[in-house]
Copies of this chain bind each other. A is one copy, B any other.
Amino acid sequence: MSTTQQAVRPTDPTGGRPVVPSTGVLRPLGLSEIALTGGFWLCRQRTNAQATLAHCQMWMERLGWVANFDRVADATTRPDRPGLVFSDSEIYKLLEAMAWEFGRTGDLRVDAAFRALSERVVRAQDADGYLNTSFGHGGQAPRYCDLAGGHELYCAGHLLQAAVARLRTYGVDELVEAARRSADHVCDTFGAGGIASVCGHPEIELGLVELGRALGEQRYVDQALLFVDRRGHGTLGDHAFGREYYQDDVPVRDADAWRGHAVRALYLSAAAVDVAVERKDQVLLEAIARQWANTVARRTYLTGGMGSHHQDEGFGRDWVLPADRAYCETCAGVGSVMVSWRLFLATGDVRYADLIERTFFNIVATSVREDGRAFFYANTLHQRVPGPAVTDDEVSPRASSSMRAPWFDVSCCPTNLARTMATWHTYAAAIDRTGLSICQYAAATVRTTLQDGREIGLDIQTNYPRSGLVTVHITRPTPGPWTLRLRIPEWAEGAVVQDGGQRTLAHPGFFQLERAFAVGDQITLDLPMAPRFTNPSPHVDAVRGCVAVERGPEVLCLESVDLPAGVSLDEIRIDTSIPPSEHHGRVLVAGRRVEVREDAWPYSSGDEWSADSQQVVDLPLTPYHAWADRGPSRMRVWLPTV
């Protein structure tokens, strides 16, 4: 154990980054190149560090998911193993989150927690590199006997991602060595001449590519490509929800939109971008870009949420986007960010960064409770009844209540959020040869090196999204001109950039300042934060005759706790002739109450169903990410107008 842990030499001198493509338009910043200094996301990063990491570990100890590794190591596995077959992956995602968090702050307590946990994991590895607590040991089913449902390669993929985080924030240690052995075992077992199949849940592909990049092992990247190309040929056999459930219906290159289980589709697509970039495979890259575009245009919620089916946690057909049965799994939000980020780095297309912002504010930020110790597994856009009470001491089913829950039977979102929060700032900006693109707005300092070798430094001050004002100060002298790009979000028509004395109207897209900058130079961006009405396409049948309200990147909602006593959420009709306003920090819309008749049969050829009160009242809205913060409630994002 001790020898490798002495070698404290990060192999990636630019600091930790979850994704480091070897080609592409943009290069991501690492954990040491950008740091948040205040605001919405720093607050959440701190909560993640101070509460969520320990919370996840506590639950996994309590439920025996960590002890599963001890039992394998001690050869005391039992038939009644705690946890579902994929519970190992939660420990790996927690390790990944700890590694990034250590990289972000250097907090030695986090490092100690990582070491203690990873030691127990590594002990459970078989001599040939296989590492799994559900299969292949005393009293268990044999290895790889159930590729469709066993999640063995899925778990291995998360082990590899944890190792990448450790490698890029610390260096080679026992976990990294274990991951290398695991990756070698996977390549040996599933490479040419091996088992010619794939895992029912994509993920190994992501781990293999990134570990291949981090260790310079082309073999791992090649194996990932093999997995990507094998899928879609029916090797997994039928599934009750159709082969599209695990994207084994159509080859990745041929599909036109995401379908089936949303997290599976998104992890697979993120990996496909990775291998496309490594192999300069433009056809594969364009296939994912096409699937992204079609899915965003027809199968995505206003919140950025993906997946409308509860049954299979999956995408619906085009335009199947019910508000009340929206699934919008938190992990699909994380997966969507993963795909969009990779496409953004590959292409520089601002649309990907737009969707990332939408998903961060309205899915990722929505899932976690303020204290970091409870989560929404799914993110509905319409809560009809508050749903059952949830205590902080019980495991919950996945999608049942208006209350966030501390842990789930399938508990993939807490650790997925933890690793995402710990790296949030690495999505905030990216560089190319001669410039920096600011993608997400937050108070932050940046100090990095352009690809042409010149150093740049800047300080970003903002209270975004509370305010739309963003000020960039240049903090380092950089010889010659370089390009500062500011993302003007798709919703920010009317944004203004002030550079010195010059004010310029900036349209959605990247606003580009190309000049020499001096220390102390100040650039100001003023994003229009007035709340606005948003209308759905008539194709979205489920919300016909409704309107939503957005403010900056935040989707807003109306909660029952804000209604006058005796008024029901279903009785509100919004008056869109009166624009939404803002008073004392809250957005208000004008609405009337209608009296809806209730009959024995809810369909009628006769009279009007409702009588309009005409009396207009102001209705205070809440950012969707803060809904249910004041206790169980009914909630609507889409508000009827008729």
Listed in ascending order, the chain A residues whose CB lies under 8 Å from chain B are 240, 242, 293, 296-298, 300, 302, 309-311, 316-320, 322-325, 351, 382, 384-385, 397, 400, 409, 490-491, 493, 532-546, 548, 550, 570, 594, 596-606, 609-610, 640, 642
Contact = CB atoms under 8 A, between A and B. Distances in A.
A295 to B, nearest CB: 11
Residue with the greatest number of chain B CB neighbours at <10 A, chosen from A400, A570, A597, A601: A601
B324 A535 contact: no
A256 to B, nearest CB: 13
A293 B600 CA distance: 7
A540 B603 CA distance: 9
The 5 A-B pairs of least Cβ separation, nearest first, read A537-B602, A311-B311, A545-B545, A544-B545, A310-B311
Nearest to A384: B317
Nearest to A297: B600
A550 B605 contact: yes
How many copies of the shown chain assemble into the complex?
A: 2
A500 to B, nearest CB: 31
Given A317-B324, A541-B546, 8 more contacts: A297-B598, A320-B324, A323-B541, A325-B325, A534-B605, A537-B604, A544-B546, A642-B642
Given A310-B311, A316-B325, A610-B538, A533 B605 contact: yes
Nearest to A600: B297
Contacts of A541: 323-324, 382, 542-543, 546, 640
A491 B318 CA distance: 35
A633 to B, nearest CB: 15
Contact of A538 (B409, B490, B594): B594
A594 B538 CA distance: 10
Contacts of A604: 534-535, 537
Nearest to A302: B603
24 contacts: A242-B397, A310-B310, A317-B384, A318-B384, A319-B384, A324-B541, A382-B541, A490-B601, A491-B605, A534-B604, A535-B603, A536-B602, A536-B603, A537-B596, A537-B609, A538-B570, A538-B594, A538-B596, A538-B610, A539-B598, A544-B544, A544-B642, A545-B642, A548-B603
Main secondary structure of the interface of A (DSSP, over half): loop
Contacts of A610: 538
A552 to B, nearest CB: 12
A175 to B, nearest CB: 34
Contacts of A539: 570, 596, 598, 602
Contact of A322 (B325, B351, B544, B609): B325
Contacts of A310: 309-311
Nearest to A355: B601
Contact of A599 (B537, B606, B640): B537
A361 to B, nearest CB: 15
Contact of A298 (B318, B602, B606): B602
A409 to B, nearest CB: 8
A237 to B, nearest CB: 14
Contact of A242 (B300, B400, B490, B640): B400
Nearest to A544: B545
A600 B537 contact: no
Residue with the greatest number of chain B CB neighbours at <10 A, chosen from A242, A325, A600: A325
A318 to B, nearest CB: 7
A540 B602 contact: yes
A188 to B, nearest CB: 33
Nearest to A317: B384
Residue with the greatest number of chain B CB neighbours at <10 A, chosen from A293, A400, A490, A603: A603
A196 to B, nearest CB: 26
A318 B568 CA distance: 14
A614 to B, nearest CB: 16
A325 B542 CA distance: 11
A534 B317 contact: no
A491 B297 CA distance: 41
Given A309-B310, A310-B309, A385-B317, A599 B533 contact: no
A534 B603 contact: yes
A542 to B, nearest CB: 6
Contacts of A385: 317-318
A351 B537 contact: no
A546 B544 CA distance: 9
Nearest to A542: B542
Given A544-B642, A546-B544, A296 B533 contact: no
Contacts of A545: 544-545, 642
A340 to B, nearest CB: 13
A508 to B, nearest CB: 11
